[in-house]
Amino acid sequence: MKPIAPSPGINRRGLLATLGLLPALSVPLFPASAPAQTAISGGLPSWNDGPAKQAILDFVRATSDRSSPSYVVPEDRIAVFDQDGTLWVEHPMYTQVVYCLDRVPDVMAKNPELKNREPFKTVLSGNREAIARLPLRDLEKILAATLSGMTVEEFNAEAKKWLEAAKHPRWNRLYTELAYQPMLEVLRHLRDNAYKTYIVTGGGQDFVRVYAEKVYGIRPEQVIGTAGGTKFAYAGDGKPYLTKEPKLLLNDNNAGKPEGIHLMIGRRPYAAFGNSTGDREMLEWTAAGAGARLKMLLLHDDAAREYAYGPAHGLPDTKVGTFTPALYDEAKRDGWTVISMKNDWRRVFAFE
């Protein structure tokens, strides 16, 4: 089906949200040392002993032990996780943005008249610095052209194919291999204790759903993300199909996260994990509930094994969603737990 060109009525906020916005591209890319697969023995083996690991174990025990004053009935056990920078690597560029940029040549093949038009011309040039400098309105056009106008099945097939081949420039690994091993253990530990685990991401809901079950053990219906509308119609043979539309239904960033949680889950979570100001409202909403609530923020302070950015670190901020000093202060003031990647994680990736 023909991709839909951005229309004047297009929702700007939505597209920015779908995009997730580009983090800075100035991070030096270098290959990691030779990987080695390691077996997992249950619990949280990739965590070092310390306050972060302890906070997780204490919370799970307190809410699942029937004799505990903080006991939570299993049907209310909801845990929510931001994705980019919380469950997997978000530098130097959100994976979905890389996907959209990579899709541009395909879109051009179907719409050759766009070839000499900006921003597609710049994307086709392959000049990463120029691409990083593209203004947001241009990125919106790229999103509209690459994430809508196809059936939901076509989108899923295209995204799946890309994810099975595209590699992160630093590690030369599939993006799906760049999930954080310690967080995969937290997801499993929570599920082992009857928690229902959800992703609540500013990224595109349909995109993340393509791989969430395989990578995180999270089914599509437990992925909440920035979501566009679809349109039901009939093909010539009378068979119905759904087309992805460039129309925003949910901007799942900032206040959109608790709003999205209400829309899709209808209950307040007991545990929330994030890493940036885009997750602030979700953590505040979680924290405002009665009883034991787990509020965790991941601090990227490990330039050697991953990246270092956020409070007191040198890397330039992402355009949105930064772990600002103000967020750090709020976390400290309100008793949220800050995870230090450098100190709290024994291992970052499964392949290490």
Binding residues for its own copies (CB under 8 A): 75, 152, 196, 205-206, 209, 213, 219-221, 223, 227, 229-232, 239-242, 249-250, 255, 258-259, 262-267, 281, 284-285, 288
CA distances from 1 to 117, 123, 146, 152, 205 (A): 21, 22, 12, 11, 21
Of the candidates 340, 53, 50, the residue with the CA atom closest to the CA atom of residue 186: 53
Whether residue 180 contacts residue 350, with contact meaning beta carbons closer than 8 Å, is answered with no
Residue with Cβ nearer its own copies (141 or 280): 280
Q: How far apart are CA 260 and CA 144, in angstroms?
A: 22
Residue with Cβ nearer its own copies (48 or 193): 193
Please state the closest distance from residue 117 (CB atom) to its own copies, in A.
31
Whether residue 46 contacts residue 328, with contact meaning beta carbons closer than 8 Å, is answered with no
Whether residue 180 contacts residue 347, with contact meaning beta carbons closer than 8 Å, is answered with no
Please state the closest distance from residue 281 (CB atom) to its own copies, in A.
6
Please state the closest distance from residue 256 (CB atom) to its own copies, in A.
8
User: CB-based burial of residue 11 (10 Å sphere; 0-12 exposed, 13-18 middle, 19+ buried)?
Assistant: middle
Residue with Cβ nearer its own copies (151 or 324): 151
- Over its C-alpha atoms, the chain yields an Rg (Å, rounded) of 20
Please state the closest distance from residue 164 (CB atom) to its own copies, in A.
19
Parallel/antiparallel/unpaired status of strands 223-234 and 196-204: parallel
- Ranges assigned E (strand) in the chain: 78-81, 196-204, 223-234, 240-250, 271-274, 294-301, 308-309, 337-340
Residues 6 or more apart in contact with residue 66 via CB below 8 angstroms? none
Q: How far apart are CA 273 and CA 279, in angstroms?
A: 8
Of the candidates 232, 226, 234, the residue with the CA atom closest to the CA atom of residue 207: 226
Q: How far apart are CA 172 and CA 128, in angstroms?
A: 17
Of the candidates 248, 244, 245, the residue with the CA atom closest to the CA atom of residue 156: 244
| Cα distance between the two ends of the chain | 42
Three-class DSSP category at 143: helix
